[in-house]
C-alpha cells in the first residue's frame, strides 16, 4: 500500500515462494510483526532479515557498491558520450554491452540457484504448493511476473541440475570478470 506498510495480503503476495504454506507465511508475518500492529513496516522487515543475512551480508554490500560504480560510470558516459570520437563511442557501447552480459550471466546463475533450492525444498517436503499470483505488488518489485516465470520454466533447463560447487565457481568467475572490467574503467 502507499502508507509504506505491508498488510498480510501484500506480504503474502510478495513473499509467497511456492514452498511455504499459507499457514507458515502467516506465522512468519506475525514473527516479523514485532509491533503487533497487523502490518509490517520497513524497520520490522529490516530487523528480521538483518538477523539472517549470513554470507549474503557481503553479497548485498558488494552489490550496493557495484550499483554505485555502475551508476557513476553511466553518468560519466551520459556526460561524455556525445563529445567522444566514433571509436570512443564504439568502445563505450562495447563496455556497456559486456557489463550487461556479465550482470545477466550472474542473474542467470542466481535464478538457477534459487530454483534449485526451491525444488530441493519441495522434494524434501513432498508437498509442493503452487505460489499464488496476486495482483498486489510492492513498489518497484515484479513478484507476480517472477512467480509466473518460475512456474512456467521448463524442468529440462540445463542449469537446473547443476551443483552448488559448479554454480559457486561460475559466480566467482563472473564476479571476477566484472570486477576486472570495472577496475579497468576506473583507471581511465
How far out from the chain centre does Cα 85 lie?
Answer: 36
User: Which has more confidence, 165 or 38?
Assistant: 38
When mean pLDDT is compared across 22-26, 65-69, 168-172, the lowest value belongs to: 168-172
Whether residue 158 lies inside any domain: the answer is: yes
Tell me the pLDDT tens digit for each residue of 89-111.
999 999 999 999 999 999 999 99
Whole-angstrom CA distances from 101 to 175, 177, 183 are 12, 11, 17
Q: Is residue 71 in some structural domain?
A: yes
Segment 139-150 mean pLDDT: 38
pLDDT for 11 beyond 90: yes
Look at the pTM and tell me if it is higher than 0.95.
Answer: no
Per the domain annotation, does 108 fall within a domain?
A: yes
68 lies in some domain = yes
In this prediction, residue 152 carries a pLDDT of: 40
| pLDDT tops 50 at residue 160 | no
Length of the chain: 188
Q: What percent of the chain has pLDDT over 90?
A: 55
- Give the Cα-Cα-Cα angle 161, 166, 170 (nearest 5 degrees): 120
Does residue 105 lie in a domain region?
yes
In a domain, 5, yes or no: no
Mean pLDDT computed over 65-69: 95
Helix (H/G/I), strand (E/B), else coil: 40 = strand
Q: Establish how many alpha carbons lie within 13 A of residue 111's alpha carbon, considering only the half-sphere containing its beta carbon.
A: 15
pLDDT of residue 3: 80
Q: Domain limits at 100?
A: 55-130+154-187
- In the chain, beta strands by DSSP E: none
- How high is the mean pLDDT of the chain? 78
pLDDT of residue 81: 95
Contact 151, 131 (CB under 8 A): yes
Q: Looking at the 3D structure of the chain, how many domains does it have?
A: 1
Amino acid at each position: 500500500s502507499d502508507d509504506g506498510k505491508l498488510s498480510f495480503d501484500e506480504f503474502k503476495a510478495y513473499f509467497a515462494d511456492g514452498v511455504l504454506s499459507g499457514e507458515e507465511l502467516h506465522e512468519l508475518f506475525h514473527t516479523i510483526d514485532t509491533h503487533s500492529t497487523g502490518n509490517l513496516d520497513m524497520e520490522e522487515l529490516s530487523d528480521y532479515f538483518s538477523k539472517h543475512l549470513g554470507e549474503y551480508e557481503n553479497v548485498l554490500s558488494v552489490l550496493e557498491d557495484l550499483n554505485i560504480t555502475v551508476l557513476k560510470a553511466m553518468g560519466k558516459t551520459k556526460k561524455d558520450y556525445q563529445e567522444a570520437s566514433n571509436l570512443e563511442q564504439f568502445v563505450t557501447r562495447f563496455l556497456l554491452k559486456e557489463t550487461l552480459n556479465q550482470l545477466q550471466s550472474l542473474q542467470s546463475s542466481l535464478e538457477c540457484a534459487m530454483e534449485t533450492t526451491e525444488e530441493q525444498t519441495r522434494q524434501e517436503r513432498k508437498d509442493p504448493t503452487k505460489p499464488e499470483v496476486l495482483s498486489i505488488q510492492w513498489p518497484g518489485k515484479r513478484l507476480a511476473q517472477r512467480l509466473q516465470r518460475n512456474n512456467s520454466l521448463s524442468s529440462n533447463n540445463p542449469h537446473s541440475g547443476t551443483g552448488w560447487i559448479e554454480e559457486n565457481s561460475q559466480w566467482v568467475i563472473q564476479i571476477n570478470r566484472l570486477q576486472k572490467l570495472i577496475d579497468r574503467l576506473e583507471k581511465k
